[in-house]
């Protein structure tokens, strides 16, 4: 299993070409290709068909670690 970007590179396909072939929103496709968004099952089917590979051959998980941007951290709360 490889990320979607690897299959795109092998096929010589740009993000714009993938957007046109899959019929999905460009912003969504860019987020999926960069690993910032995990696609739904229907989005996976459309992207895999556009590239010409099986859904099971593509690693769909996040490539970018999730950062929790909200929170007060250890400085909040009661001081002991």
pLDDT tens per residue across all 80 residues of the chain: 888 989 999 999 999 999 999 999 999 999 999 888 889 999 999 999 999 999 999 988 766 666 666 666 666 555 55
- The confidence score (pLDDT) of residue 35 equals 87
pLDDT at 13: 93
Q: Are 58 and 18 in contact (CB under 8 A)?
A: no
pTM of the model: 0.74
For residues 42 and 71, give the distance between their C-alpha atoms in angstroms, rounded to a whole number: 34
Pick among 1.10.260.40, 2.60.120.620, 1.10.10.10, 1.20.1300.10: CATH of 2-59:
1.10.260.40
Q: Which helix (H) or strand (E) holds 58?
A: strand 58-59
């Amino acid at each position: 299993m490889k990320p979607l970007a690897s299959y795109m590179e092998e096929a010589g396909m740009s993000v714009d070409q993938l957007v046109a072939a899959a019929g999905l929103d460009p912003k969504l496709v860019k987020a999926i290709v960069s690993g910032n968004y995990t696609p739904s099952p229907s989005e996976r089917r459309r992207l895999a068909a556009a590239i010409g590979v099986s859904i099971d051959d593509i690693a769909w998980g996040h490539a970018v670690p999730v950062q929790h941007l909200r929170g007060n951290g250890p400085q909040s709360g009661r001081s002991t």
